């Protein structure tokens, strides 16, 4: 169970049960799933107590498949039933625990939404001329320009749900591309660089991130 970081009156709230990915080969350590971290960040930022249980997603136990037959994490128990999908879960958490609101205005909710898929394509690419690197850089430049006039967070001065979705993905991007491609985000994207430092230095992020070596090992299975 993690301690909540938000200053909210949640002492009487029953801890949320959440199933998240375990580190490969380390069943008692938090794994590298950015979608699991997104939900954990939401719980932390809202000050909602929770009990996290780690799941070996490479060898899914029967009890987990009974909770979620699709075999995906994260999963939370809500009103006596198991609920999957980070989009669905974070919406439920916002509606059920409106304190410390993380609502992102609709016109800003899709900012940076193409970065993760662009990152994965570049990471997996074996052809340096396929344009995947350039496509990723363009997405990063777009976010950098947006932050220049709208930052420091996506929704201005207040952290919101879209930041909690982007922060884990940017962490994976930085760690995996540095290791597997010897690549880093261009230094001249200063607004983006500052944004990453801002979101990754929050206590909620420190409490919920997987170690870098776990992220690297996690991506190795996708690159074999």
Q: Which residues are known catalytic residues?
A: 33
Q: Please, are residues 123 and 176 in contact by the beta-carbon 8 Å criterion?
A: yes
Q: Is the peptide bond before 24 cis (omega within 30 degrees of 0)?
A: no
Tokens for 168? 């884990």
Residue that the structure tokens 């609101």 belong to? 101
Reference 30, options 7, 53, 64; nearest CA is 53
Contacts of 193 (CB under 8 A, 6+ apart): 185, 187
As beta bridge partners, residue 30 has 22
Whole-angstrom distance, CA of residue 42 vs CA of residue 50: 11
The backbone region for 123, taken as left when phi is positive above 0, alpha when psi lies in -120 to 50, beta otherwise, is: alpha
Nearest in space to 76 (alpha carbons), one of 103, 97, 101: 97
- Both tokens assigned to 214: 């776990």
């Amino acid at each position: 169970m993690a301690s909540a970081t938000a200053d909210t009156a949640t002492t009487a709230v029953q801890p949320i049960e959440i199933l998240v990915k375990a580190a490969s080969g380390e069943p008692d350590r938090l794994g590298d799933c950015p979608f699991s971290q997104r939900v954990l960040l939401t719980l932390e930022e809202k000050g909602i107590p929770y009990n996290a249980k780690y799941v070996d997603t490479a060898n899914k136990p029967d009890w987990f498949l009974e909770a979620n037959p699709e075999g995906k994490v994260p999963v939370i128990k809500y009103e006596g039933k198991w609920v999957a999908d980070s989009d669905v879960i974070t919406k439920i958490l916002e509606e059920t625990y409106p304190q410390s609101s993380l609502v992102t205005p609709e016109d800003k909710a899709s900012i940076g939404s193409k970065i993760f898929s662009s990152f994965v394509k570049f990471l997996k690419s074996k052809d340096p001329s396929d344009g995947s690197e350039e496509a990723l850089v363009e997405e990063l430049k777009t976010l950098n320009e947006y932050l220049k006039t709208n930052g420091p967070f996506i929704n201005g001065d207040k952290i919101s749900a879209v930041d909690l979705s982007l922060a884990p993905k940017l962490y994976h991007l930085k760690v995996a591309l540095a290791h597997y491609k010897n690549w880093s985000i261009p230094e001249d994207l200063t607004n983006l660089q500052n944004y990453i430092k801002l979101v990754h230095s929050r206590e909620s992020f420190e409490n919920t991130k997987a170690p870098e070596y776990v992220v690297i090992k996690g991506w190795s299975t996708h690159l074999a």
